[in-house]
Amino acid sequence: MKAPHPPLDGITVLTLEQAVSAPLCTRHLADLGARVIKIEHPAGGDSARHYDGAVRGLAAHFVWLNHGKESVALDLGVAEDRALFTGLLELTDVVVSNLAPGALGRLGLSPAGLVEEHPRLIVVDISGYGTGGPLDHKRAYDLLVQSEGGSCAITGRPGEPAKSGIPIADVGTALYAFSAVLTALYDRERTGRGTVVSVAMLDVIGEMMGFALNQVLHAGAEPEPVGMGSPMVAPYGAYPTADGHTVVLGTTSDREWRRLASDLLCRPDLAADPRFVRNADRVRLRDELDAVLRAWCAERDLADIQRRADEAGIGNARLNGVRDLARHPQLADRKRWREVDSPVGGVPALLPPVISPDWNVRAGRVPALGADTDAVRAEVAAATGCTPETQPSPATTRRESRR
């Protein structure tokens, strides 16, 4: 049997990134074996380094998003540092950036220009609102894009919009960027050419809002938020139990509804009630059905409800907090935790969601700011035959020669 291997071994990724979207994309690439070189400004580096000190002095966001990467501290406005960056491009397969609007262009690093100079290079340009249109100049953070894209309006309660606790605009953008890199690498194998890929956070939220958009476009109805539930199906929600927990029960079809009513609640009269036959009717009468389920759950312990629901084939879960997730037996029993190195020693981290028995997942360290600058500077000088002060020529073709 062949030894597990990192599937992206041999791929080099150069990142100009901050915060969440690009760093999560590139951390997944690092997990799967890519060499990820993170370019940070010497004066502070990635802003996520300074959000808090939750991880023994390191920021929780930064530890989550950046293990497995090398940190190179460069000021691209300084000639020597710019020369090093130019040399790194000769060794690079993929550039990922989510800098502020126009920042790459102001640095003389427009995505199209990079690919024109380096035809096999793949450049993934992450922005808030894309190029063109009245908002393309605006900075974009997760809350701003969730608000602009309507997702906050269908979260929370009527009159009380809420941002998702998970930064879904950032995370969704990261995953689209991750898949874009893999797609572009596959396409390059066939064509020999790199490309520019653009990913706009508003476009990602727009895709995620597809069902709600269809409701507005075709039915004219603005979806109403329903808290712990879904505006699309009912009954589907969270109900307190007799022993102080909260159980989440849901149905996603008319057939499941009949099982819930007859087999779980032992209420064949509800299953036969013509008012509740179709999901659209149950959505309209959500409050009435929620009251029935709330009363039923209030008389029973969580374990009893979940046992009965499993026997009836009804989806169910316990409403957990973050502390519950940290010690969740499903994660522990499946050995989903690993340890990664950091400037403060080993710290726990989850394995990436994408796994294969034939792949080796790399457990790299969380880099200190600029930890790899000197080593990378020496590597580039050796590879290009240039001193650090010399601008490498575009004719340098190390990247071509290793393919």
Same domain, 34 and 149: yes
Per-residue confidence (pLDDT) for residue 177, from 0 to 100:
98
What span, in angstroms and rounded, lies between the C-alpha atoms of 18 and 339?
A: 24
pLDDT at residue 1 greater than cutoff 60: no
Per-residue confidence (pLDDT) for residue 387, from 0 to 100:
55
Phi and psi, residue 125, nearest 5°: -110, 110
Same domain, 306 and 394: no
Residue 229: Cβ within 10 Å count? 18
* 40 within 8 A of 72, measured Cβ to Cβ: yes
Q: Which residue type does 182 have?
A: L
Number of domains in the chain: 2
Q: Judge whether 205 lies within some domain.
A: yes
Q: Look at residues 264, 285, 318 and tell me which one is the last residue of a structural domain.
A: 318
**How do residues 202-241 score in pLDDT, each as one tens digit?**
999 999 999 999 999 998 888 889 999 988 899 999 999 9
Q: Residue for token digits 């550039």?
A: 95
Same domain, 55 and 138: yes
Q: Judge whether 298 lies within some domain.
A: yes
Query: What whole-number percentage of the chain has pLDDT above 90?
Result: 85
Per-residue confidence (pLDDT) for residue 395, from 0 to 100:
32
Q: Judge whether 224 lies within some domain.
A: no
Same domain, 270 and 391: no
What span, in angstroms and rounded, lies between the C-alpha atoms of 216 and 88?
A: 48
Same domain, 75 and 167: yes
Pairing of β 69-73 and β 35-40: parallel
Average pLDDT over the chain reads 92
Q: Look at residues 263, 287, 318 and tell me which one is the last residue of a structural domain.
A: 318
Phi and psi, residue 157, nearest 5°: -130, 160
Same domain, 257 and 394: no
The number of angstroms, rounded, from the C-alpha of 368 to the middle of its chain's C-alpha atoms is 23
**How do residues 115-149 score in pLDDT, each as one tens digit?**
999 999 999 999 999 999 999 999 899 999 999 99
Buried-exposed string 138-162: b where 16+ CB fall within 10 A, e elsewhere:
eebbbebbbbbbbbbbbbeeeeebe
CATH number, domain of 204, equals: 3.40.50.10540
Structure tokens at 346: 């080993």
Same domain, 266 and 163: no
Q: 286 pLDDT band (50/70/90 cuts)? A: very high
Same domain, 161 and 38: yes
Per-residue confidence (pLDDT) for residue 103, from 0 to 100:
87
**How do residues 154-184 score in pLDDT, each as one tens digit?**
999 999 999 999 999 999 999 999 999 999 9
Per-residue confidence (pLDDT) for residue 400, from 0 to 100:
37
CATH number, domain of 295, equals: 3.30.1540.10
Same domain, 45 and 180: yes
What span, in angstroms and rounded, lies between the C-alpha atoms of 168 and 229?
A: 18
Q: Judge whether 165 lies within some domain.
A: yes
Per-residue confidence (pLDDT) for residue 399, from 0 to 100:
37
Query: What whole-number percentage of the chain has pLDDT above 70?
Result: 95
Per-residue confidence (pLDDT) for residue 390, from 0 to 100:
47
Of 122, 125, 117, which Cα lies nearest the Cα of 13?
122
Same domain, 285 and 342: no
Average of per-residue pLDDT across 364-391 = 83
pLDDT at residue 15 greater than cutoff 90: yes
Q: 386 pLDDT band (50/70/90 cuts)? A: low
pLDDT at residue 325 greater than cutoff 50: yes
Q: Look at residues 299, 318, 337 and tell me which one is the last residue of a structural domain.
A: 318
Q: Give the range of the structural domain holding residue 285, as residue numbers without chain letter.
A: 236-318
Same domain, 153 and 68: yes
Structure tokens at 360: 């080796």
What span, in angstroms and rounded, lies between the C-alpha atoms of 259 and 306?
A: 14
Q: In angstroms, what CA-CA distances link 359 with 13, 31, 208, 355, 356?
A: 19, 10, 30, 7, 5
* 124 within 8 A of 96, measured Cβ to Cβ: yes
**DSSP bridge partners of 13:** 36, 94
Of 96, 130, 72, which Cα lies nearest the Cα of 20?
96
Same domain, 85 and 174: yes
Q: Judge whether 371 lies within some domain.
A: yes
Per-residue confidence (pLDDT) for residue 340, from 0 to 100:
95
Of 167, 205, 141, which Cα lies nearest the Cα of 60?
167
Q: Residue for token digits 């790899």?
A: 372
Q: Which residue type does 241 have?
A: T
Q: Judge whether 355 lies within some domain.
A: yes
Q: Judge whether 324 lies within some domain.
A: no
Q: Judge whether 301 lies within some domain.
A: yes
C-alpha angle 18-20-22 in degrees, rounded to nearest 5? 70
